[in-house]
Amino acid sequence: MSELIPRISSKIHDFLNLLFAVDAECILCGEEAHTDNFGMCKNCASMLIYPNDTEDLLNKNQYLDGICVAFAYSGTVPDGVLRMKYGHRLYLSEKFAALMDVREDWEIDVAVAVPMYKKKLNARLYNHSDLMARFLCSRLRIPYDGSLLMRIKPTPAQMRATRKDRLVLQAGSVLASDDCDGKSILLIDDVCTTGSTVNECAKVMKEKGAKAVYVTVFAHGKA
């Protein structure tokens, strides 16, 4: 019996580590280091690039009314995103959401995250974008309504897909609710590559009467 106690404690310890940040662990590279107020080590912070090509994204994605990107998908940003998505580090959703923002001139009625297909959600247990969105909305005091979008078709891995391929893969993959009607909506996702996913979400929301769709993502660039 006494042997069980340390084993259980260790399990509880592992579980708590999934939920809460270890202060000394960099949110991007995961190395133990002295971290700044955002939880990054000096090395990762020095590699951050602030993207300046959001105009191009807007021009290529006709249903978007604005886009806000925190960082380029470069340096150790991909490592951090992968640790959040596949490493079961739920606390990273909150840390990343703290680095995301919206533009001052956006008038937002409600927000929603890019939805995940149900089977994928069941396998992964949580939608990291939905978690990020809820933390971001709570900080910015924006109402959140996860029922505005539903993914009805799984999308295959798009790693090597061209922009044209991505548009075909995304077509008909999401449904929007009638509640989009007349609203200015903030759409939230972790990474945006060509913008085809957020553009498809914006398209179906506008078909349901959304006034405007603004997007905020943690990172933009090639996955």
Nearer to Zn ion (CB atom), residue 80 or residue 195: 80
Distance from C-alpha of 35 to C-alpha of 24, rounded to nearest angstrom: 6
Nearer to Zn ion (CB atom), residue 41 or residue 81: 41
CB of 81 to Zn ion, least distance (A): 13
CB of 207 to Zn ion, least distance (A): 42
Are 35 and 41 a contacting pair, CB within 8 Å? Answer: yes
CB of 83 to Zn ion, least distance (A): 11
Q: How does DSSP classify residue 193?
A: S
Question: Which helix H or strand E contains 163, and what residues bound it?
Answer: helix 163-170
CB of 80 to Zn ion, least distance (A): 8
Are 28 and 18 a contacting pair, CB within 8 Å? Answer: no
Nearer to Zn ion (CB atom), residue 28 or residue 64: 28
Hey, how many other C-beta atoms are within 10 angstroms of the C-beta on 81? Answer: 21
Distance from C-alpha of 53 to C-alpha of 194, rounded to nearest angstrom: 12
Nearer to Zn ion (CB atom), residue 26 or residue 217: 26
Q: Would you tell me which residues interact with Zn ion (CB under 5 A)?
A: 26, 28-29, 41, 44
Q: Which of 109, 48, 42 is nearest to 76 (CA)?
A: 48
